């Protein structure tokens, strides 16, 4: 049975689209790692509500002018690296796909960038207005769209594009021939992108797409007494993250909902979190007990990988991703392992947070731990969130650590399966079996 599953997963990973996706995500890992570290600095060290900002009293000894300067410097990194991530992904995916078939990869990548920019072009009331884009389509929330566009452009170059540049010295005549040979795929791509852009700007697709993720997040917290609805919505968010349609940021508890405010007011008035009116508020349960390393309990996944012997590239990604992931900035791990579009990790990524929420709700109902109504600082390590959100209940800390241990154990079979698949894929050359 195991060999059949492994063989099926290997065949899936040898599909040319998945190969292009995997190699694209590997190429983007350094970008997302630096972006995640910069986001950690911005949110945890430079924000007045940050974890390390308050621990080290940074605001007391760092001059405001320096603080503002550091905020601009590190925010610029996160803005560029994450808000333009889809542009990079589209280029690399088109480049890799064309290279698989020994076509002009460089021009394919450039064409992919132009295609994505045309699709994201935002029509205004006046055609002469300065250039404007639907920015969501250019960032990390549209990674899947960028990968599909890049792969499509690469396939177009496979059939209509010029051959790959050779290693010999190119003459001017060769370069001109290469340029003219790219006109057909570039023209076809431009026309298709214009049609898609027209459709996006003429309808409500973009508005629905841009608001779906945030709307699901908000809906989870609107009905605190309807636990099943919240669990289903959390499942939908996990699927979007796995598809590459999520946001590269840590989970945030909304502080303006009626239920959350009622819990906080009760805790502050009575000096205790034991008898708040909404003990099973889905947002606080998630943030306290299902946010170990961001969405999908990625911290548990990294630990499970590092527990396996060896020193593979997967171990190296896990080690480099560990620091931002501990503080719930896990996007580099989602890209580098990868978790995105990896069927091996789909089930635990979706279901383990729900298991944690269900166990936490049961333990709370038994009166073993209190609810978690207090706000926590940005960048607080995942296992400490519940402890601080109860104002220092040690039983909650022990429970959170036990939950993390359980998550690591439950991730281990999937990590083992992933290593088996990786071992078989190690012999597959770039491009491999394109039609598998």
Question: Same structural domain for residues 284 and 409?
Answer: yes
Long-range CB contacts (< 8 A, 24+ apart) of 389-397?
389/284, 389/287, 389/288, 390/273, 391/267, 391/273, 393/273, 393/369, 395/368, 395/369, 396/288, 396/369, 396/370, 396/372
Question: Same structural domain for residues 304 and 285?
Answer: yes
pLDDT for position 1:
72
Question: Same structural domain for residues 102 and 72?
Answer: no
Question: Same structural domain for residues 289 and 364?
Answer: yes
Question: Same structural domain for residues 270 and 360?
Answer: yes
pLDDT for position 232:
76
Question: Same structural domain for residues 42 and 104?
Answer: no
In this model, does residue 315 exceed pLDDT 70? yes
Question: Same structural domain for residues 79 and 48?
Answer: yes
For the CA atoms of the chain, what is the radius of gyration? 24
| Range scoring the smallest mean pLDDT among 104-118, 238-252, 350-364, 407-421 | 238-252
**Domain-ending residue, one of 84, 107, 127:** 84
Instruction: Specify if 304 maps to a domain.
Output: yes
Cis bond upstream, residue 338 (ω within 30):
yes
Instruction: Specify if 1 maps to a domain.
Output: no
pLDDT band at 419 (very low <50, low <70, confident <90, very high): very high
Question: Same structural domain for residues 283 and 400?
Answer: yes
What domain range is 53 assigned to?
Answer: 12-84
Half-sphere exposure of 54 (CA within 13 A, CB side): 10
Instruction: Specify if 179 maps to a domain.
Output: yes
Instruction: Specify if 2 maps to a domain.
Output: no
Instruction: Specify if 433 maps to a domain.
Output: no
pLDDT for position 35:
93
Q: What total of structural domains would you count in the chain?
A: 3
Section 356-370 average pLDDT:
90
Question: Same structural domain for residues 158 and 181?
Answer: yes
Tens digits of residue pLDDT in 224-277: 555 566 677 778 888 888 998 876 555 455 556 777 788 888 888 888 888 888
What gap in Å lies between CA 398 and CA 240, rounded to an integer?
Answer: 31
Instruction: Specify if 220 maps to a domain.
Output: no
Question: Same structural domain for residues 249 and 392?
Answer: yes
DSSP bridge pairs for 163: 103
Section 37-47 average pLDDT:
93
Instruction: Specify if 4 maps to a domain.
Output: no
Instruction: Specify if 21 maps to a domain.
Output: yes
What gap in Å lies between CA 408 and CA 391, rounded to an integer?
Answer: 26
Question: Same structural domain for residues 370 and 234?
Answer: yes
Question: Same structural domain for residues 358 and 344?
Answer: yes
Six token digits for residue 120: 């994201």
- What backbone phi and psi angles, to 5 degrees, belong to 381? -55, 140
**Domain-ending residue, one of 35, 61, 84:** 84
pLDDT for position 170:
62
Dihedral Cα 408, 412, 414, 419, nearest 10 deg: 130
- What backbone phi and psi angles, to 5 degrees, belong to 245? -115, 15
Helices (H), 14-132: 16-40, 51-55, 58-61, 64-83, 85-100, 105-119
Among candidate residues 309, 308, 303, the one with its CA nearest the CA of residue 321: 303
């Amino acid at each position: 049975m195991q060999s059949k599953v492994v063989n099926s997963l290997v065949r899936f990973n040898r599909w040319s689209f998945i190969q292009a996706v995997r190699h694209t995500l590997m190429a983007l890992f350094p970008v997302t790692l630096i972006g995640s570290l910069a986001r950690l600095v911005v949110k945890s060290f430079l924000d007045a509500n940050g974890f390390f900002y308050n621990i080290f009293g940074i605001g007391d000894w760092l001059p405001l002018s320096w603080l503002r300067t550091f905020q601009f410097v590190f925010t610029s990194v996160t803005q560029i690296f994450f808000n333009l991530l889809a542009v990079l992904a589209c280029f690399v995916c088109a480049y890799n796909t064309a290279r698989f078939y020994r076509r002009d990869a460089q021009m394919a990548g450039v064409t992919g960038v132009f295609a994505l920019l045309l699709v994201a072009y935002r029509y205004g009331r006046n055609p002469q207005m300065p250039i404007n884009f639907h920015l969501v389509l250019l960032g990390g929330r549209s990674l899947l769209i960028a990968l599909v566009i890049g792969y499509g452009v690469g396939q177009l170059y496979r059939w209509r594009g010029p051959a790959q540049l050779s290693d010999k010295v190119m003459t001017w005549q060769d370069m001109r021939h290469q340029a003219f040979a790219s006109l057909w795929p570039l023209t076809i791509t431009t026309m298709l992108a214009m049609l898609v852009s027209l459709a996006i700007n003429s309808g409500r697709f973009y508005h629905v797409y841009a608001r779906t993720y945030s709307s699901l997040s908000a809906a989870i917290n609107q009905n605190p007494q309807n636990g099943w609805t919240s669990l289903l919505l959390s499942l939908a968010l996990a699927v979007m993250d796995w598809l590459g349609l999520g946001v590269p940021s840590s989970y945030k508890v909304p502080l303006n909902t009626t239920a959350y405010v009622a819990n906080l007011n009760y805790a502050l008035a009575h000096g205790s979190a034991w008898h708040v009116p909404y003990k099973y508020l889905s947002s606080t349960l998630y943030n306290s007990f299902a946010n170990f390393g961001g969405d999908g309990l990625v911290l548990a996944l990294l630990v499970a990988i590092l527990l396996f012997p060896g020193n593979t590239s997967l171990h190296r990604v896990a080690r480099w991703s560990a620091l931002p992931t501990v503080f719930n900035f896990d996007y580099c791990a989602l890209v580098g392992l990868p978790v995105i579009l990896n069927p091996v990790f789909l089930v635990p990524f979706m279901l383990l947070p729900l298991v944690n929420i269900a166990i936490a709700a049961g333990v709370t109902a038994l009166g073993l731990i209190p609810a978690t109504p207090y706000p926590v600082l940005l960048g607080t390590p995942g296992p400490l969130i519940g402890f601080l959100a109860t104002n220092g209940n040690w039983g909650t800390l022990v429970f959170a650590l036990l939950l993390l241990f359980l998550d690591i154990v439950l991730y281990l079979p999937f990590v083992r399966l992933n290593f088996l698949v990786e071992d078989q894929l190690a012999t597959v050359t770039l491009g491999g079996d394109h039609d598998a």
